[in-house]
C-alpha cells in the first residue's frame, strides 16, 4: 500500500508578515501587503508598486549567522520559513532522526542580480560604434565591480544548500524552477519521494523574489503586471472584470512533509494530508495558455484521481467532495478566464458549488514561492474552518460565474482543498490537501 | 511489480556536434573539443578556453518545425541546445520527430513527460546593455527614472521569457507535443542526473510512458564566465599550453575545470512500451538515488573531502539495482578536474568499490566535452549507455597515474560492461547516482 504523506510543520515569510498566525489573521481580514516599491527608484515605472517583505532579519532564525553570511535575499526568506516549519514539526527534538533519510525538494527562484554593479560595468565597457561591450574591458570592470559572493549566491540551488546546511540534511536534494508552478511541483515531487520510501522526511516549499529592477522590468515588458493607478492595494483584483495583471510579491513558504507512519512513530501532530498531485504541460505556446485550459484541467483531474475523489460526486452533506479551491488566480485576464474554464471542465455541474479564492489579491504573486504559501493557507483554512477571501472583487466578470469568495472571509467546514499553480510556459501543477481523518 | 525503465534514444549535444555519433567517435578516438573561445574575446578572463558548439555544427532553425521557426528568436542558447538534443534523441529512438511525419505517434501526448535540467541563465549582455545605454545620465550611470518611463521599451517584450530556466522544457514540449508531467531541475552539475531520475520515477508511478529527459547549458558568455571565475571553478590557461590538455580529472596536478556547451536529451521509456514498439534499448536504468553533501562552506564550492554523501548516493542506487561493488564494470563520475570536487569523488569511489577501486575503469567526459554543467549528466549518461551498447570503453585523456583509481590517460578498448555506475556532484553539494544495466542480463 502507498504510504500516506502528511504535513507536520509550516512556515512562511510573506509581505503580510513573518509568522503563521499574524499572516493568517490578515488574510482573513482581507488586508493587502501592496505598497509603493522602496527597494529601488521605481517612481516612473508603469507599475511602481509591489508586495515586499518588510522588516525581516533572517539572523534570528538560524543557529549561527556566520554560516549564512553570504545568503542572498531568497535564501534569507527560505531560511526563516524553513526554521518555523522545522520548529513546528518538533523534528529537532526527535533523537532518532536519521538525517540521511531527511531530504529537501524546493522550488526556489534565482537570486537577485546586483543591478547597480551590472549597469556600471555595462556603461564603462559599452562601445557605441560596435553596438557591443568590449569583452576584455567588461571582464576587467566586472572583476573589480561585482561582488564575488553576490554572483555565486544567485544560483537557484543556493537556498537549498543553505537550508540543508542549517538542518544537517543528507537525503535526496532537488531544486526545481518551473516559474510560477515551482513550489507546488516541488511539494508534489517531495510527496512522491516519500511514497517511494526514498526518505522519511522532506523539507519542501519555495522561495523567490523578483522585486528588483530587471525582474519588474521583465514582467512589465511582458504586459503581465497590473498598471492600475490610484490606491495600489486595489491593483491585484483576481476574477474581477477590471483585472489587468498581477502584482508582484516575494517571500517563502516551507513545509515539513513526512510519511504518516514516521509522524505517528515519533508522536508528531499531523496538520493535514497531501493525498493527490497532478502535473501536466500545456505544450501549446510560449506566451499563452491553452484557451480551453486543457493543461490545467489535466493536472487537476490527475490530482483528484490520485486522491480517489470523483469531481462529479456529492458527499453526504450535499456538497461536492472538494470544499475549497485555492486558485492560481493571478489577476491577469487570461489566467483567471482559463482557470475558470478548467475548473468547469473538470467539475462540470459541481463547479459553481465550490468556493474558490486567490490570496494573491492580498499578498501579490510570490512567483516560485506562490504555491507553497497557498498550500499553507489551505491547511490553515482546514484548521480554522475559514476560507480567505478574494479581495478587490468588486465588479463581477459576467464570464466568470463561479463562487470566488468576494471580499469577505467565510466560515465553512473544510475537509478537502485543491491548490492550483500554473507556470509561464505551460507547466501546471495541482495538489489535494485533506483534513486527516 | 514496478515498471522497468530503459533508455531508447540518445541526443547528446556537445562541442563535437549533435547526436551520439560525433560524440562517440571523438570519445573513442580521444579527441577534445576544448579550444580558445570564439564567441567573444576571452582575453579579460584567466580561463580563455571552452568546448564550443560551432555554427557549422548546429543551427537550431534547421531542427524545428516550420511553425516553430519564429519562436527560435526567443530562444536563448541553452534552450536552443535542448531543442537540438530533443530532436536528435527522438530520431534516435525512432519516435515521432520534429517534422511529425516520421511515424504515427506511438506514445500518447498526455503520456509523454519532459524533465530538462537547466542552469542559471544569463541575459545576453549586449542585448541588455544596448537598452541600458539609452538611459545613461550625464555621469555615465543608468538613470532609473529614464529607464522606467522610456528606456525599458528598448527591450523586446518577450525579453524575460527568453531567460526563464523552464523555457528549455517549454519549447521542447511544444515542439514535440509532450503533455505529461514536465519539470525543470536547477542543481548545477546534478541537474541532468536528477532530471533523468525524476523521469524514471514518473514512469514508475505510471504518470507517463516515456519522457524526454536531460539538461543543457552554455556558460560560454560573459556573465557566466565571471561567475565561474568568482567561484574558483575554472582552470587558468597559460598561453603556451594546448587547450586540449588542461582538464585532468583526478590528477594531483589538476588546476580546475573548463566549461563546455551542451548536454542534450535522452529518451527514457517504460520497458514494456519499448518492447511493444520494437525499440532498440541502450540500457536499463535499474537504480537511482540522490543525496546532499555536508558542505563546510555552506555553498558547496568546497566539498567534504571524505565524499561520504557522494558514496551514499552510489550505494543507494546500487542497492536499488540489486548490485554490489563486484558487479560494477565502470564508473562515470563528474570528473571535473576541480581539485576539491575530484578529491571528494575519488574518496567516494574508493569507499564504494573498496579493494576493487584501482581495477574498475573510470570513464571521463569533461576532458573531451568540457563541463556542460546542467547538461553534464546527460553527456555522462549518453556515453555510459553507448559504452554498454557497444561494449567499448572510450579513451581517456590527460590524467597521469592516480593512486587507487583507474583514471590515467589510455586508448579505447573493448570491455564487458554489464553495470555502469554514473555519479554526478554539483556546485552546491547535490549528488545523484544511477546504475545502467546491459539489456538481457540478470
Cβ contact B194:A174 at 8 Å: yes
Q: Does residue B291 form part of some domain?
A: yes
**Count of all residues that appear for chain A in the document:** 437
CA–CA separation, A235 and A237 (whole Å): 6
Instruction: Give the Å distances, CA to CA, from B410 to B158, B362, B370.
Output: 49, 11, 18
Segment A195-247, tens digit of pLDDT? 999 999 999 999 999 999 999 999 999 999 999 999 999 999 999 999 999 99
Closest CA to B395 of B358, B360, B368: B368
Comparing CA positions, the residue from A337, A258, A204, A231 lying closest to residue A94 is A258
Instruction: Give percent above pLDDT 70 in chain A.
Output: 100
Q: Are residues B139 and B62 in the same domain?
A: no
Q: Is the pLDDT of residue A287 over 70?
A: yes
In a domain, B250, yes or no: yes
Mean pLDDT of B54-59: 95
Q: Are both B147 and B225 inside the same structural domain?
A: no
Q: Quick one: pLDDT at residue B106?
A: 81
Q: Shortest CA distance to A211 belongs to which of A368, A332, A62?
A: A368
Q: Which pLDDT does position B440 carry in this prediction?
A: 87
Look over chain B and give the mean of its residue pLDDT values, rounded to a whole number: 96
**Class level of CATH domain A5-113+154-434:** alpha beta
Which are the contacts of A293, defined by CB distance < 8 A and separation ≥ 6? A338, A339, A341, A342, A345
Q: Under DSSP, is residue A310 helix (H, G, I), strand (E, B) or coil?
A: coil
Distance CA B330, CA B328 (A): 6
Reading the block at residue A108, the C-alpha cell is 526556489
- Residues B129-173: tens digit of each pLDDT: 999 999 999 999 999 999 999 999 999 999 999 999 999 999 999
For residue B442, being part of any structural domain is answered with no
B222–A152 C-beta distance less than 8 A? no
Grid look-up 524546493 returns A106
Instruction: Please identify every residue of A annotated as catalytic.
Output: 180, 328, 365
From A131, A169, A217, residue closest to B152, measured CB to CB: A217
Dist. CA A104–CA A164, nearest whole Å: 7
Report helix, strand or coil for B1.
coil
What pTM value is reported for the model?
A: 0.98
Of B133, B167, B428, the CB nearest to A425: B167
Judge whether B174 lies within some domain: yes
B104: confidence class by pLDDT, cuts 50, 70, 90: low
For residue B6, what are the contacts with CB-CB under 8 A and spacing of at least 6? B268, B269, B270, B271, B274, B281, B282, B283, B284, B285, B439
B215 pLDDT more than 80:
yes
Q: Is the pLDDT of residue A257 over 50?
A: yes
Any bridge partners for residue B83, and if so which? none
Alpha-carbon gap, residue A163 to A174, rounded angstroms = 12
Domain count, chain B: 2
Question: B160 to chain A: which residues are within 8 Å by CB?
Answer: 217-219, 221-222
Q: Do B290 and A424 touch (CB under 8 A)?
A: no
**Chain A residues lying within 8 Å of B230, measured CB to CB:** 146, 148, 151-152
User: B183 phi and psi, to 5 degrees?
Assistant: -140, 160
Residue B98 has pLDDT above 50, yes or no: no
Quote the CA–CA distance of A390 and A387 in Å, as a whole number. Answer: 10
Torsion of CA B3, B8, B11, B14, to 10 degrees: 90
CATH of the domain at B359: 3.40.47.10
Q: Where are the beta strands (DSSP E) in B184-326?
A: 210-217, 262-270, 283-292
In percent, how much of chain B has pLDDT > 70? 97
Q: Please say whether the beta carbons of B185 and B114 come within 8 A.
A: no
CB contact under 8 A, B156 and A221: yes
Contact A279 B181 (CB under 8 A): yes
- Same domain? For B185 and B137 the reply is no
Asked if residues A359 and A386 have their Cβ atoms less than 8 Å apart, the reply is: no
Is the distance from CB of A140 to CB of B44 less than 8 angstroms?
A: yes
Residues B269, B403 within the same domain: yes
Helix, strand, or coil (residue A267): coil
Given a cut of 60, whether residue B322 has pLDDT beyond it is yes
Question: How confident is the model at residue A437, as a pLDDT?
Answer: 83
- A11-44 pLDDT, tens digit per residue, is 999 999 999 999 999 999 999 999 999 999 999 9
Which residues are A6's β-sheet partners? Answer: A258, A273
Look up cell 492560481; give the residue.
Answer: A328
Residue with cell 547535490: B430
- Mutation for A interface: B138, B148, B177, most A CBs within 10 A: B148
SS3 A175: strand
User: What is the arithmetic mean of pLDDT over A371-384?
Assistant: 98
Number of H helices, E strands in chain B: 13, 14
Question: In angstroms, rounded to a whole number, what is the distance separating the alpha carbons of residues B130 and B124?
Answer: 10
Tell me the C-alpha to C-alpha distance, in Å, between residue B308 and each of A77, B194, B291, B304, B351.
Answer: 29, 19, 10, 8, 8
Q: Are residues B66 and B200 in the same domain?
A: yes
Categorize the per-residue pLDDT at A140 as very low, low, confident or very high, splitting at 50, 70 and 90. very high
User: Can you tell me the distance from the alpha carbon of A153 to that of B231, in angstroms, rounded to the nearest whole number?
Assistant: 10
Instruction: Specify the pairing of strand A272-281 against strand A427-434.
Output: antiparallel
By the 8 A CB rule, do B324 and B415 touch?
A: no
Residue B102 lies inside a defined structural domain of this protein: yes
- Of B134, B154, B174, the one marking the end of a domain is B154
Instruction: Identify whether residues B98 and B62 lie together within a single domain.
Output: yes
Which residue range(s) make up the domain with B409? 5-122+163-437
My answer on whether B403 and B329 are in the same domain is yes
Q: Are residues B37 and B142 in the same domain?
A: no
**Which of these, B124, B71, B63, lies nearest to B99 by C-alpha position?**
B63
Residues B163, B236: Cα–Cα separation, whole Å: 29
Q: Are B195 and B183 in contact (CB under 8 A)?
A: yes
Query: Cβ separation of A172 and B291 shorter than 8 Å?
Result: yes
Q: Do A221 and B158 touch (CB under 8 A)?
A: yes
- Cell numbers representing residue A113 in the block: 542580480
B279 and B424 part of one domain: yes
In a shared domain, residues B387 and B426: yes
Q: Which chain A positions have a beta carbon within 8 Å of B107's beta carbon?
A: none
Torsion of CA B204, B208, B212, B214, to 10 degrees: -40
Average pLDDT over residues B331-348: 98
Closest-CA distance of chain A to residue B13, Å = 22
Sign of CA dihedral B60, B66, B71, B73: positive
Element (H, E) at B432: strand B430-437
B14 shares its domain with B52: yes
The fraction of chain A above a pLDDT of 90, given in percent, is 98
Residues B130, B45 share a domain: no
- Tell how far CA B105 is from the center of its chain: 27
Mean pLDDT calculated for residue range A377-392: 98
Q: Where are the beta strands (DSSP E) in B337-429?
A: 392-393, 413-414, 419-425
| pLDDT at residue B105 tops 80 | no
Confidence at residue B191, expressed as pLDDT on a 0 to 100 scale: 98
d(CA A322, CA A378): 12
Residue B102 has pLDDT above 60, yes or no: no
pLDDT, position A54: 98
Does residue B100 register a pLDDT over 80?
Answer: no
First to last CA, chain A: 17
| Contact residues for B128 (Cβ-Cβ < 8 A; gap 6+) | A122, A214, B155
Distance from CA of A218 to the nearest CA of B (A): 5
Asked if pLDDT for residue B298 goes beyond 90, the answer is: yes
Which ranges in B94-190 belong to alpha helices (H)?
A: 125-133, 144-149, 159-162, 167-176
Ordered by start, the domain boundaries in chain A are 5-113+154-434, 115-147
CA distances from A434 to A271, A415, A431, B341 (A): 9, 5, 10, 44
pLDDT tens-digit series, residues A50-75: 999 999 999 999 999 999 999 999 99
Interface A-B, measured as beta-carbon pairs within 8 A, has a size of: 287
Amino acid at each position: 500500500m502507498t504510504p500516506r504523506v502528511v504535513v507536520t510543520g509550516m512556515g512562511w515569510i510573506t509581505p503580510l508578515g513573518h509568522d503563521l498566525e499574524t499572516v493568517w489573521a490578515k488574510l482573513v481580514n482581507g488586508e493587502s501587503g501592496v505598497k509603493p516599491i522602496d527597494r529601488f527608484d521605481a517612481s516612473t515605472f508603469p507599475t511602481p508598486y509591489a508586495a515586499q517583505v518588510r522588516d525581516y532579519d533572517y539572523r534570528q532564525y538560524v543557529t549561527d549567522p556566520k554560516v549564512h553570511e553570504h545568503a542572498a535575499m531568497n535564501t534569507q526568506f527560505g531560511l526563516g520559513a524553513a526554521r518555523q516549519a522545522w520548529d513546528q514539526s518538533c523534528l529537532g527534538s526527535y533523537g532518532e532522526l536519521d538525517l540521511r533519510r531527511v531530504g529537501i525538494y524546493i522550488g526556489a527562484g534565482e537570486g537577485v542580480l546586483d543591478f547597480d554593479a551590472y549597469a556600471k560595468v555595462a556603461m564603462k565597457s559599452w562601445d557605441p560604434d560596435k553596438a557591443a561591450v568590449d569583452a576584455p574591458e567588461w571582464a576587467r570592470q566586472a572583476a573589480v565591480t561585482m561582488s564575488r559572493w553576490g554572483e555565486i549566491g544567485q544560483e537557484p540551488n543556493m537556498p537549498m544548500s543553505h537550508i540543508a546546511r542549517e538542518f544537517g540534511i543528507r537525503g535526496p536534494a532537488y531544486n526545481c524552477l518551473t516559474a510560477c508552478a515551482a513550489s507546488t511541483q516541488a511539494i508534489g515531487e517531495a510527496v512522491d519521494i516519500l511514497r517511494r520510501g526514498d526518505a522519511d522526511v522532506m523539507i519542501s516549499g519555495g522561495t523567490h523574489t523578483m522585486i528588483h529592477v530587471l525582474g519588474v522590468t521583465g514582467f512589465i515588458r511582458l504586459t503581465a503586471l497590473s498598471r492600475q493607478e490610484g490606491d495600489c492595494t486595489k491593483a491585484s483584483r483576481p476574477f474581477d472584470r477590471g483585472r489587468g495583471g498581477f502584482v508582484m510579491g516575494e517571500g517563502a513558504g516551507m513545509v515539513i512533509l513526512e510519511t504518516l507512519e514516521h509522524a505517528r512513530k515519533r508522536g508528531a501532530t499531523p496538520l493535514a494530508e497531501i493525498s493527490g498531485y497532478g502535473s501536466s504541460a500545456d505544450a501549446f505556446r510560449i506566451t499563452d495558455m491553452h484557451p480551453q485550459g486543457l493543461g490545467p484541467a489535466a493536472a487537476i483531474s490527475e490530482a483528484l484521481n490520485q486522491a480517489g475523489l470523483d469531481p462529479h460526486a456529492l458527499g453526504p452533506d450535499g456538497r461536492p467532495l472538494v470544499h475549497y479551491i485555492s486558485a492560481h488566480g493571478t489577476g491577469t485576464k487570461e489566467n483567471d478566464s482559463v482557470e475558470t474554464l478548467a475548473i468547469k471542465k473538470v467539475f462540470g455541474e459541481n463547479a459553481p458549488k465550490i468556493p474558490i479564492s486567490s490570496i494573491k489579491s492580498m499578498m501579490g504573486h510570490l512567483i516560485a514561492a506562490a504555491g507553497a504559501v497557498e498550500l499553507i493557507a489551505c491547511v490553515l483554512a482546514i484548521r480554522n474552518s475559514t476560507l480567505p477571501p478574494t479581495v478587490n472583487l468588486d465588479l463581477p466578470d459576467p464570464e466568470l460565474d463561479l463562487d470566488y469568495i468576494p471580499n469577505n472571509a467565510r466560515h465553512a467546514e473544510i475537509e478537502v482543498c485543491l491548490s492550483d499553480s500554473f507556470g509561464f510556459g505551460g507547466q501546471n501543477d495541482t495538489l489535494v490537501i485533506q483534513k486527516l481523518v | 511489480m514496478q515498471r522497468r525503465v530503459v533508455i531508447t534514444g540518445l541526443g547528446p549535444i556537445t562541442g563535437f556536434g549533435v547526436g551520439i555519433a560525433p560524440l562517440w567517435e571523438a570519445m573513442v578516438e580521444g579527441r577534445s573539443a576544448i579550444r580558445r573561445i570564439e564567441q567573444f574575446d576571452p582575453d579579460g578572463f584567466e580561463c580563455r578556453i571552452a568546448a564550443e558548439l560551432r555554427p557549422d555544427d548546429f543551427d537550431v532553425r534547421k531542427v524545428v518545425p516550420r511553425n516553430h521557426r519564429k519562436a527560435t528568436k526567443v530562444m536563448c542558447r541553452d534552450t536552443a541546445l535542448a531543442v537540438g538534443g530533443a530532436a536528435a534523441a527522438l530520431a534516435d529512438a525512432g519516435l515521432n520527430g520534429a517534422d511529425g511525419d516520421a511515424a504515427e505517434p506511438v506514445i500518447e501526448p498526455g503520456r509523454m513527460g519532459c524533465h530538462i535540467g537547466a542552469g542559471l541563465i544569463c541575459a545576453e549582455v549586449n542585448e541588455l546593455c544596448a537598452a541600458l545605454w539609452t538611459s545613461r545620465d550625464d555621469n555615465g550611470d543608468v538613470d532609473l527614472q529614464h529607464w522606467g518611463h522610456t528606456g525599458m521599451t528598448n527591450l523586446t517584450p518577450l525579453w524575460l521569457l527568453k531567460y526563464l530556466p523552464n523555457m528549455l522544457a517549454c519549447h521542447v514540449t511544444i515542439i514535440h507535443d509532450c503533455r505529461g508531467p514536465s519539470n525543470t531541475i536547477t542543481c548545477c552539475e546534478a541537474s541532468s542526473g536528477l532530471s533523468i531520475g525524476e523521469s524514471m520515477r514518473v514512469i514508475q508511478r505510471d504518470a507517463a510512458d516515456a519522457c524526454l529527459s536531460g539538461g543543457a547549458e552554455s556558460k560560454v558568455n560573459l556573465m557566466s564566465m565571471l561567475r565561474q571565475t568568482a567561484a574558483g571553478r575554472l582552470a587558468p590557461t597559460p598561453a603556451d599550453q594546448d587547450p586540449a590538455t588542461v582538464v585532468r580529472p583526478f590528477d594531483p596536478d589538476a588546476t580546475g575545470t573548463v566549461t563546455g556547451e551542451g548536454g542534450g536529451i535522452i529518451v527514457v521509456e517504460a520497458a514494456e512500451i519499448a518492447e511493444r514498439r520494437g525499440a532498440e534499448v541502450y540500457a536499463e536504468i535499474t537504480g537511482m538515488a540522490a543525496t546532499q553533501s555536508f558542505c563546510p562552506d555552506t555553498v558547496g564550492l568546497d566539498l567534504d573531502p571524505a565524499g561520504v554523501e557522494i558514496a551514499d548516493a552510489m550505494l543507494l542506487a546500487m542497492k536499488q539495482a540489486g548490485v554490489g561493488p563486484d558487479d560494477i564494470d565502470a564508473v562515470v563520475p563528474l570528473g571535473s578536474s576541480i581539485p576539491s570536487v575530484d578529491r571528494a569523488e575519488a574518496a567516494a569511489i574508493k569507499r564504494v568499490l573498496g579493494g576493487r577501486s584501482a581495477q574498475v575503469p573510470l570513464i571521463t567526459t569533461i576532458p573531451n566535452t568540457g563541463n556542460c554543467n546542467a547538461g553534464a549528466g546527460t553527456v555522462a549518461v549518453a556515453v555510459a549507455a553507448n559504452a554498454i551498447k557497444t561494449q567499448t570503453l572510450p579513451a581517456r585523456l590527460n590524467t597521469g597515474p592516480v593512486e587507487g583509481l583507474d583514471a590515467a590517460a589510455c586508448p579505447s578498448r573493448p570491455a564487458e560492461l554489464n553495470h555502469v555506475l554514473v555519479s554526478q556532484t554539483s556546485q552546491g553539494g547535490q549528488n545523484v547516482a544511477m546504475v545502467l544495466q546491459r539489456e538481457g542480463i540478470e
